[in-house]
Amino acid sequence: MAQTAADLVDQVVPRVPVRQWVLSFPIPLRIFFAAHPELLAPVLQIIHRVIASFLIKQAGLKRSAADTGAVTLIQRFGSAANLNIHLHCLVLDGIYQRTGAEAVFREARAPTSAELQGLLVKIITRIMRVLTRQGYLVEEQGMTYWADIDADCALIPLQAASCTYQIAFGPRAGRKC
Q: Residue ranges per domain, the chain? A: 13-130
Residues of the chain with pLDDT below 50 are none
pLDDT of residue 113: 96
Angle between the 113-133 and 40-58 helix axes, to the nearest 10 degrees?
140
Q: What is the DSSP letter of 4?
A: P
Q: Which of the 8 DSSP states describes residue 9?
A: H
Quick one: pLDDT at residue 36?
A: 87
Q: What is the DSSP string of 56-102?
A: HHHTT--GGGEE--EEEEEEEE-TTS-EEEEEEEEEESEEEEEETTE
pLDDT of residue 149: 58
β-sheet bridge partners, residue 74? 87
Strand pairing class (143-146; 94-99)? unpaired
Interatomic CA distance for residues 153 and 121, integer angstroms: 31
Res 87: pLDDT: 93
- What was the pLDDT predicted at 151? 56
Global pTM exceeds 0.85:
no
How confident is the model at residue 40, as a pLDDT? 93
- Contact residues for 80 (Cβ-Cβ < 8 A; gap 6+): 165, 177
